[in-house]
Chains A and B, each alone.
Chain A
Amino acid sequence: MENLLAGAEMLARVDVMIALLVGSVGGVIIGAIPGVGPAVAIAILLPATFSLEPIVGLTMLLGIYGSSMYGGAIPAILINTPGTAVNALTSYDGYPMTKAGQARRALSLAYSASFFGGIFGILCLILLSPVLAIIAPMFGSREIFLAALLGIILVVLAHRGQIFAAGMLAMFGIFLNTVGLDAVTYTQRYTFGLSFLSSGINLIVVVLGLFALSQAFFLLTNPDSSPDAKPVSGSLTAGFKELMQHKRVAGVASSLGVIMGMIPGVGEFTAQFMSYTYAQKSSANPDAFGKGAPDGLIASEAANNAVPAAAMIPLLALGIPGEALTAMMLSVFYVHNVIPGPQLFQNNIDLVYGLYLALILLNVVVICFLMVSTNLLTKIIRVPTRFLGVMILILSFVGVYSLRNSLTDCMLAAGFGVLGLILKRLNLPIVPIILGMVLGGIMEVKLRSALPRLKTPLDMIDRPIAMIIFAMILMVLALHLRTLIKEIRAHQTDDDHDLHDTQMR
């Protein structure tokens, strides 16, 4: 309670409140415009927040992160174009509802499910905090190394059907992080005699290139279009009542969001797919899914909105980001010399609780804003895509150049922008590169600091938590192998289904 009050005191400032308002309202607008998304916005704003106090900067970024998915549901439902990538499943049932003349009902349900998921996630975070404060100090170098390794393995395996590409890109990210002067041995690594590479490749330059500039190039090289969403009439509060009829689905979906959000490398996509599958399998009318089932819409929105709060758990408690957006936020902590991890709960607990309360407030601000501004947002999202591309390109400059006023950074960012465009065109994932850079750096540092205490390799897992994480790594790999074997068997029957199994051996 004392900590909660200290957190509230931290938030009770005009600048923090303005940051919260700007972040949450801005996040909704950014989320509602297809083609921008929170990653682009956070990447652009990141360097600008370095000059702000940690709580101000983090509140603004958290506002964008937590609110963008609310906004992303609007075009997903009204025009079948998800505003953010993680609203994809929302369009499965939201758009058919719009076509059936139920746009208002769909939006209202999406908002209330998002609010439910958001608040559920934060409550879990608050309830788990005392446990985290006890468990987090048990994480030493070995445990954090193993947790980061688990994150890398999960981010690769989570990209089903693209595992080789995800693995290749995650390793590229780890490699990028090693370029430059090694801080421990003072030796050059892959600098090719170029002085600008000695200081390494900055994470934010890569993030801005891969997320923001690539999006600008993507929009500018594609045909121009202007989303046309029709306004909706009537009150949007009825969804809360209807949500109560589906509280089981909302509860399970939010729980899955929390669990998936906590596991590094997994995130919204998996949470959404799992909860949607659960909702469909447990529904009395599974055939209605994809044709306008309200429980499908609820499952999707409740799950993805429960993730942001849960994603803060590994970030705050261990300093391990689970996905790209929290990886970006990690740099804000580092710039201000506030190191997330076990010590944060001992030294800066007011900041931790301040962030929890900011998350609650932003959900309230967003839901109030949406109740009165949905029709205004349907007009804002009509910005033509190429015009948007021009604006993203101009805004990206602020992000890259303000870091170190370096033209080389701009050239590198432009290069990563082209790489990002190629990855987007090929439908290959960008996130493994970012997580590879961040988690690779953590793994290198933590393994080095663990080495003096290791006499045999088995010492790596001689503590309970290290042993548990190691068991989780083995379990994840075993489960993946099992799925792979199942797939092989499934393919065998597919290929020669008219032959008896014994004839094929």
Chain B
Amino acid sequence: MSRVKTLQSLFKRYRRPGDIVFAWVVLIVAVFLLSQLLSQTQWKSGGKLFAQPRFWPGLSLILMTSFAALHLFGSALSERLEGRWREIGLWIASIEYALWFVVYAIAVPYAGYLPTTFAFAILLVLRAGYRSVRALFWAGVSAIVIVLLFKTFLQVKLPAGQIYDSLPDGLRQIMLNYF
């Protein structure tokens, strides 16, 4: 009995709600990836084991699966914590902001960097719960400063918006190059 207790206390650790769900997901992903090893990598005949293209993915996935199993074991042996599903709800809620980011990335080549950044800064600030004119003002100013810094001064490679093509000649060139 004392040995079981020792084993438990050795694996027990500080954790947060949702840890066991994460542990299960990682283990399932690791096992799935490992099951694909033969179809997703090749073995070159005549080559040494360590030089095989299959060696490093195989080794890393075998170790990842082993560690994931031990992590899950540790999580299962630790005390159950309240708030597991609330925590997972929060993880899922974060996907909304990931989608905001992707939509922003889709919009830039069409609507242009400056207008998209300005619009997204205002919309996101509103989504984040700010309603004051001050917050909206600073969001707009920050968006313009970001565009000026990266696109105008540092000339970071970002696509010019298709919408700029409809602008008059002189302005179009400036917008295409700097905003």
Residues of chain A having any CB pair with chain B under 8 Å:
47-48, 51, 161-162, 164-165, 167-168, 171-172, 174-175, 177-179, 182, 184-185, 187-192, 213, 216-218, 220-221, 224, 384, 386-387, 389-391, 393-398, 400-402, 405, 407, 410-411, 413-415, 417-418, 421-422, 425-428, 436, 440, 443-444, 447-448, 451, 484, 487-488, 491-492, 494-496, 504
Contacts and interface: CB of A to CB of B under 8 A. Distances in A.
B128 to A, nearest CB: 4
Contacts of B18: 422, 425-426
A217 B92 CA distance: 11
A51 B142 CA distance: 23
A56 B1 CA distance: 64
Contact of A405 (B9, B129, B157): B157
B11 to A, nearest CB: 9
B16 interface: yes
Contacts of A414: 98-99, 101-102
Contact of A418 (B54, B91, B143): B91
A192 B91 CA distance: 27
Contacts of B85: none
Interface in B38-87: 40-42, 44, 47-48, 50-51, 53-54, 56-57, 59-61, 63-64, 67-68, 70-71, 74, 87
Contacts of B26: 168, 172
Q: Is the interface of A mostly helix, strand, loop or mixed?
A: helix
19 contacts: A51-B155, A161-B14, A175-B33, A178-B56, A187-B44, A386-B129, A389-B128, A393-B97, A394-B121, A394-B142, A405-B157, A405-B159, A407-B106, A414-B102, A425-B18, A425-B91, A451-B48, A495-B9, A496-B2
Contacts, number: 214
Contacts of A162: 13
Contact of B87 (A425, A488, A496): A425
A410 B33 contact: no
Given A162-B13, A190-B40, A393 B100 contact: yes
Contact of B121 (A168, A390, A396): A390
Interface string B122-152: 0011001110000100110011001000100
Contacts of A410: 101-102, 105
A185 B61 CA distance: 20
B171 interface: no
A328 B72 CA distance: 31
Contacts of A189: 40-41, 53-54, 57
A13 to B, nearest CB: 17
A190 B100 CA distance: 28
Interface residues of B, number: 75
A218 B93 CA distance: 11
A176 to B, nearest CB: 9
Q: Which among B56, B121, B142 has the greatest number of chain A C-beta atoms within 10 A?
A: B56
A216 to B, nearest CB: 7
Most buried by B among A164, A422, A488, A492: A164
Nearest to B159: A405
A418 B60 contact: no
Given A387-B125, A395-B146, A418-B98, A51 B61 contact: no
A165 B142 CA distance: 38
A488 B8 CA distance: 10
B60 A174 contact: yes
A422 B91 contact: yes
Contacts of B93: 221
A178 B13 contact: no
A255 to B, nearest CB: 30
A401 B159 CA distance: 9
A461 B5 CA distance: 41
Contact of A488 (B6, B95, B98): B6
A185 B53 contact: yes
Interface string B162-176: 000000000000000
B62 to A, nearest CB: 8
A444 B40 CA distance: 18
Contact of A185 (B44, B60, B158): B44
Contacts of A440: 56, 60
Contacts of B104: 393-394, 397
Contacts of A47: 156
Q: Which 7 A-B pairs have the closest CB atoms?
A: A171-B64, A168-B67, A410-B105, A167-B67, A414-B98, A174-B60, A164-B71
B56 A401 contact: no
A417 B56 contact: no
A418 B102 CA distance: 13
B2 A171 contact: no
Contacts of A391: 121, 142, 146
Interface hub of A217, A415, A440 (most chain B Cβ within 10 A) = A217
Nearest to A52: B154
Contact of A217 (B94, B102, B108, B142): B94
Given A191-B40, A405-B159, A171 B101 contact: no
